[in-house]
């Protein structure tokens, strides 16, 4: 019998949780950007090996930013993954430890669950000897099973991390077929890949006031026909998204369509509209109607 269990990826925003998940799975499952809070939904990533199956729970970053309904939902979604986990990966950025890192670590401590500290972005540390005191300090903050420096972006030490993860999971049968990589629908991933382009392409604040809803997802003769709505909170935001002559929205939609074709392995026809739903990110009912349910 092999090993199988849930692994929660916990940490503040922008430490590389989604990049790490994509690296381990070998496919682009979770959307990424340099902006914090890109991840809004908990995503299950299934990684099967000859030794067992790790069921990764990628979560939004635990943060102290703002107190609107969306921010509260993101923190709840992250913290809710901890009780379900057999193992926690606590991610931090090399040489940084902020109040939000401490907030995330406090949740790990309270759980009493076994945990591995993953010190990410070591490729950005030119002088590696500086890592040693940082790793020692981290080891004094909590009794981790292991503390492992990695680069999720480059793949450094990822094989070793995978071995440590599987070894720390309980014995048991596989819970999913070995060729399955998530429990989320293609409709969900279509919305996420379009939202990724909004996060990457527009100014610092605008992406936090946008969300994507897939109105229709149809299969027609070996291709997908997808109709997507982008919701914003004010008419001015709609104008920025569309851009002069519609060029900005067209460029974002084109790149999203290409990403969908890579993930789904078939041609995609994508149509996108932008609509205004006032203050959706502060409205619990609006959030629930747009897929942000507990």
Tens digits of per-residue pLDDT, 34-84? 888 788 888 899 999 999 999 999 988 888 866 678 888 888 888 999 999
Query: Which of 241, 237, 232 has the alpha carbon at shortest distance from 281?
Result: 232
What pLDDT, on the 0 to 100 scale, is given for residue 207?
A: 81
Burial 201-222 (b: 16+ CB within 10 A, else e): bbeeebbbbbbbbbeebeeeee
Overall fold of domain 3-168: Rossmann fold (3.40.50)
Rounded (10°) angle between helices 69-84 and 99-111? 40
What pLDDT, on the 0 to 100 scale, is given for residue 286?
A: 83
Q: Where in the chain is the domain with CATH 3.30.300.20?
A: 186-289
What are 50's two structure tokens? 């000859």
Report H helices in the chain.
17-25, 69-84, 99-111, 131-141, 158-168, 186-201, 235-242, 247-264, 284-289
pLDDT along the chain (294 residues), means of 10: 94 94 92 84 92 94 79 86 96 97 97 98 93 97 98 97 97 94 94 95 85 96 97 95 95 97 96 94 85 72
pTM of the full predicted structure? 0.89
What pLDDT, on the 0 to 100 scale, is given for residue 36?
A: 81
Q: Give the list of residues 6+ apart from residue 66 with CB closer than 8 angstroms, or none.
A: none
Phi-psi category of residue 121: left, alpha or beta, with phi > 0 → left and psi -120 to 50 → alpha: left
Cα–Cα distance for residue pair 108/59, rounded to 1 Å: 14
What pLDDT, on the 0 to 100 scale, is given for residue 284?
A: 85
Q: Where in the chain is the domain with CATH 3.40.50.300?
A: 3-168
Domain spanning 186-289: CATH superfamily = K homology (KH) domain (3.30.300.20)
What pLDDT, on the 0 to 100 scale, is given for residue 67?
A: 67
């Amino acid at each position: 019998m092999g090993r199988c269990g849930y692994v929660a990826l916990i940490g503040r925003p922008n430490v590389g949780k989604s990049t790490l998940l994509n690296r381990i799975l070998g496919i682009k499952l979770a959307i990424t950007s340099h902006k914090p809070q890109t991840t809004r939904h908990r995503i299950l990533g299934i990684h099967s090996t000859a030794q067992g199956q790790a069921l990764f729970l990628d979560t939004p970053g635990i943060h102290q930013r703002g107190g609107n309904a969306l921010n509260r939902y993101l923190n709840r979604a992250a913290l809710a993954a901890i009780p379900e986990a057999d193992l926690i990966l606590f991610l931090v950025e090399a040489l940084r430890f902020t109040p939000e890192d401490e907030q995330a670590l406090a949740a790990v401590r309270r759980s009493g669950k076994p945990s591995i500290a993953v010190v990410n972005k070591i490729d950005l540390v030119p002088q590696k000897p500086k890592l040693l005191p940082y790793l020692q300090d981290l080891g004094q903050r909590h009794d981790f099973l292991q503390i492992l420096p990695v680069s999720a972006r480059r793949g450094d030490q990822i094989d070793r991390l995978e071995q440590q993860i599987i070894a720390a999971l309980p014995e048991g049968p596989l819970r999913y077929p070995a060729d399955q990589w998530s429990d989320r629908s293609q409709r969900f991933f279509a919305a996420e890949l379009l939202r990724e382009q909004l996060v990457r392409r527009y100014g610092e604040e605008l992406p936090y006031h946008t969300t994507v809803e897939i109105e229709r997802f149809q299969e027609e003769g070996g291709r997908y026909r997808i109709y997507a709505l982008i919701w914003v909170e004010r008419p001015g935001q709609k104008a920025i998204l569309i851009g002069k002559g519609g060029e900005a929205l067209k460029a974002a939609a084109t790149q999203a369509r290409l990403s969908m074709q890579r993930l789904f392995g078939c041609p995609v026809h994508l149509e996108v509209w932008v609509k205004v739903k006032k203050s959706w990110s502060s409205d619990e009912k609006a959030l629930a109607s747009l897929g942000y349910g507990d």
